[in-house]
Amino acid sequence: MNNIRRTILEYISKNPGIRYRELLKMLGLTNGVLSYHLYRLESEQMIRIERDGGITRYYASDVKQDEANILGMLRIPTTRRIISYMLENDGSATLDELAFMLGKAQSTIFWHMKRLMEKGLVDKHDSKYMLRSKHLIAEVLARYDEQLVERVADNYADMMEDLNF
């Protein structure tokens, strides 16, 4: 494997669920060079590319699908706060409770909960939402916590900078 692909693979391994733009920025490669090497890594089954709702994320091939689902959701700041709150409260919460505690509209919380249910991370029982794999989610959160917080903050800052705020 050449040095560029090795560097890309190492970076993806250390930053599971990273997006294309982040890779481009962090590695300082041109669009064409990165695209080519990602294609090669995928064709050699060294990485897995997941596309979901217009968002593309990159994972080393050894990241399990259930962990990838969790990592992808943890990269969304509001969803991350929802998951953290639920973990702190026996893995469950109501829509009203989440909206109040996070200071968000119920419609916003509902949208995030719908995505979490689609990914199989949350179930709804009556009016209460429950984390499905509380222990796995907590384990993944603990393992990648510091890296994820830094990247989410950097991505938000970059987005605001791009919008000239």
What are the residue ranges spanned by the domains of the chain? 1-62, 64-165
Of residues 149 and 105, which shows the higher confidence score? Answer: 105
Q: Is the dihedral of CA 117, 123, 125, 131 positive or negative?
A: negative
Look at residues 2, 126, 148 and name the one whose alpha carbon lies nearest to residue 70. 148
The percentage of the chain sitting over the pLDDT mark of 90, rounded to a whole number, equals 68
The confidence score (pLDDT) of residue 70 equals 92
Share of the chain above pLDDT 70, in %: 87
Report the mean per-residue pLDDT for the chain. 88
Least confident of 93-107, 122-136, 140-154: 140-154
21: which 2 tokens? 């733009």
**Among the ranges 126-130, 141-145, 150-154, which has the highest mean pLDDT value?**
126-130
State mean pLDDT over 80-97. Answer: 93
Q: What is the pLDDT of residue 53?
A: 79
Q: What angle do CA 144, 147, 148 make, to 5 degrees?
A: 75
**Is 1-62 assigned to CATH 2.130.10.10?**
no
pLDDT at 7: 96
| pLDDT of res. 152 | 46
64-165 and 1-62 share a CATH fold: yes
Residue 75's pLDDT is 85
Give the pLDDT band (50/70/90) at residue 41. very high
Specify the CATH architecture of the domain 64-165: Orthogonal Bundle (1.10)
